[in-house]
Chains A and B, each alone.
Chain A
Amino acid sequence: DIQMTQSPASLSASLGETVSIECLASEDIYSNLAWYQQKPGKSPQLLIYYASSLQDGVPSRFSGSESGTQYSLEINSLQPEDEGDYFCQQSYKFPLTFGSGTKLEIK
Chain B
Amino acid sequence: EVQLVESGGGLVQPGRSMKLSCAASGFTFSDYYMAWVRQAPKKGLEWVASISYEGSSTYYGDSVKGRFTISRDNAKSTLYLQMNSLRSEDTATYYCARPRFATGIPIFDYWGQGVMVTVSS
Contacts and interface: CB of A to CB of B under 8 A. Distances in A.
Given A43-B95, A49-B100, A87-B45, A95 B59 contact: yes
Interface string B41-74: 0001111001000000001111000000000000
Among A1, A43, A46, which residue has the most Cβ atoms of chain B within 10 A?
A: A43
Nearest to B109: A46
Given A96-B47, A97-B47, A101-B44, A44 B59 contact: no
A45 B112 CA distance: 11
Contacts of A43: 95, 111-114
Interface residues of A, number: 23
Contacts of B107: 34, 46, 49-50, 89, 91
Interface in A46-63: 46, 49-50, 55
A71 interface: no
B75 interface: no
Interface residues of B, number: 22
A46 B44 contact: no
Interface string A66-104: 000000000000000000000101010011111111000
Interface string B61-99: 110000000000000000000000000000000010000
A97 B60 CA distance: 11
19 contacts: A36-B45, A38-B45, A43-B114, A44-B37, A44-B111, A45-B111, A49-B100, A49-B107, A55-B100, A55-B109, A87-B44, A91-B106, A94-B59, A95-B62, A96-B47, A97-B47, A98-B46, A99-B44, A101-B45
Given A36-B45, A44-B37, A95-B60, 19 more contacts: A38-B45, A43-B114, A44-B111, A46-B107, A46-B108, A46-B109, A49-B100, A55-B100, A55-B109, A87-B45, A91-B105, A94-B50, A94-B106, A96-B106, A97-B47, A98-B46, A100-B44, A101-B44, A101-B45
